[in-house]
Structure 1
Amino acid sequence: MKPLLASRPVLRFLFLFNLVVAVTTPFVARGSQAVLTGVGRGVVSLGAGVSLFRTGRKAA
């Protein structure tokens, strides 16, 4: 399972999907639920983004 989660397409999807959810949550939910969901998804998005940055592009 770890190689699948570390693949670039999966990391790219996690980064973009969680970023979109973190940004749009305040428009859909209100109160503490929106804040906690936005923060949680933002952290996941940042983690995936950092992993993408650290792996870099591999030469073919």
Structure 2
Amino acid sequence: MKALLSSKPVLWFLFLFNLVVALAAPFVVDGAQGIATSVGMAVVSLGAGVSLFRGPAKSTQRA
């Protein structure tokens, strides 16, 4: 599962989809729920974006 979530296409999807939802949520859902949804989706989008631009994780385990 970790290999799937760290692949470039999945990270791009998570970044873009959650960014679009974060931008649209305050207009679609009224009140505090729309703001909370927007903030939550923005955090997920930023996490995916950071993982996308940091590159692959380097393993520190010895064989």
Query: Do the structures match in fold with TM over 0.5?
Result: yes
Q: CA RMSD in A?
A: 0.9
The alignment status of 1:24 with 2:24, answered yes or no, reads: yes
Q: How many residues align?
A: 56
C-alpha distance in structure 2 between counterparts of 1:40 and 1:27, whole Å: 15
Rg (Cα) greater in structure: 2
- Which consecutive unaligned segments of at least 5 residues does structure 2 have? 57-63
TM-score, length basis structure 1: 0.90
How far did residue 24 of structure 1 move?
Answer: 0.4
TM-score, length basis structure 2: 0.86
C-alpha distance in structure 2 between counterparts of 1:22 and 1:38, whole Å: 4
